[in-house]
Amino acid sequence: MQKRDACAALPTVREISSNHSGLTIVDVHAVAHARAFPIRAMNESVMDAGLLVSIEYISRNYGARVQVSEEMQDECATLIEQQFGDFSITEIVQAYRLWAAGKIDALEMYGGQFNVTQLGRVLASYRAYRFDINQALAREKNNAEAEARKVERDEQHREDHRRKLCNFPATVQAAIVNERYKSPSQIPITWYAFAETHDMIEFLPGEKLALCLMAEKQIESERARQTKDAKNIFVVRSMQQHHESVGNAPIWNRAKQIILWVKVLNRKL
């Protein structure tokens, strides 16, 4: 019951097993466990004990041997540690279960008796079987890490936004005192939303429209000057296509800057 609950707590394991025909949750969970607790990373005494239990279990249940000599146990443990150290202890038994189920191919010893060669062939076949599972788990891990980094970046962005919003009145005051901006086009566009949040923009009747029309004239004048200074027809056409693609966005952005210049920085045009 405990093992079933552990598997249920791993949605990635369920998703991978459902997306690959023939795989079970146990198959995927065994590889996932190996990624977290590989044999090579285990404490030596714990590793030796775990390997001994696994070797005795598979030799008795899958290899037709009631007893395995100490020499063979040591050689099996050495083989596993050196060649299959990226596996988990549970995968040693899992490999034999898959072999018995016909899901992997391996050397069939005369009489089915367990020995070092049989163990090596079964685990080697199992390595090929687990490859796609391991790759899928690696992708899921990378995706999860990428998502975590995105969440962290988004939270940092929100925190920066909150800090800038909170400090905005002081930022404006410093810009006024130091005459930081020499023209409306130098003012950050992001200031407009901050200014609106702080109720720093109030228009007289018809004033907003007049400022927007002024912005339109400025942008049209700048575009005309850029077109006049262009070196050839290809550059002109490229500029025209760009202007068509961005539409009225530059005009509205300039309007915001002009509004900020007049209403927030209290400067004359």
List, for residues 200-241, the tens digit of each pLDDT value.
999 999 999 999 999 999 999 988 888 888 778 888 888 888
207 with 122, same domain? no
Q: What is the pLDDT of residue 23?
A: 61
Q: Domain check: are 65 and 123 in the same one?
A: yes
Q: Is the pLDDT score of 61 beyond 60? A: yes
pLDDT at 269: 82
Give a yes or no: residue 269 inside a domain.
no
pLDDT at 10: 45
Q: Which tokens belong to 163?
A: 């800090």
Both structure tokens of 261: 């210049």
108 lies in the same domain as 29:
yes
5 pLDDT higher than 70: no
pLDDT number for residue 173: 94
Query: Is 227 a domain residue?
Result: yes
User: Is 13 in the same domain as 92?
Assistant: yes
Residues 61 and 135 in one domain: yes
pLDDT at position 208: 93
Q: Give yes or no for residue 184 having a pLDDT over 90.
A: yes
Whether the Cβ atoms of residue 174 and residue 180 lie closer than 8 Å to each other = yes
Residue 117 and residue 6 share a domain: yes
pLDDT given for residue 31 in this prediction: 81
Structure tokens at 173: 């005051």
Residue 164 inside a domain? The answer is no
Which pLDDT value is given to residue 7? 42
Task: State yes or no: pLDDT of 183 exceeds 90.
Answer: yes
- Domain assignment present for residue 170? The answer is no
Q: Does pTM top 0.85 for this prediction?
A: no
- Looking at the fold, whether 7 and 100 belong to one and the same domain comes out as yes
Clarify whether residues 144 and 185 are in a common domain: no
* Same-domain check for residues 19 and 129: yes
pLDDT value at residue 15? 57
Residue 27's pLDDT band, with cuts at 50, 70 and 90, is confident
% residues pLDDT > 70 (the chain)? 89
Examine the domain organization and report whether 8 and 135 are in the same domain: yes
pLDDT at 9: 39
Average pLDDT over residues 39-49: 92
Say how many domains are in the chain.
2
pLDDT at 247 over 60: yes
pLDDT top residue among 173 and 113: 173
What range does the domain containing 146 cover? 2-150
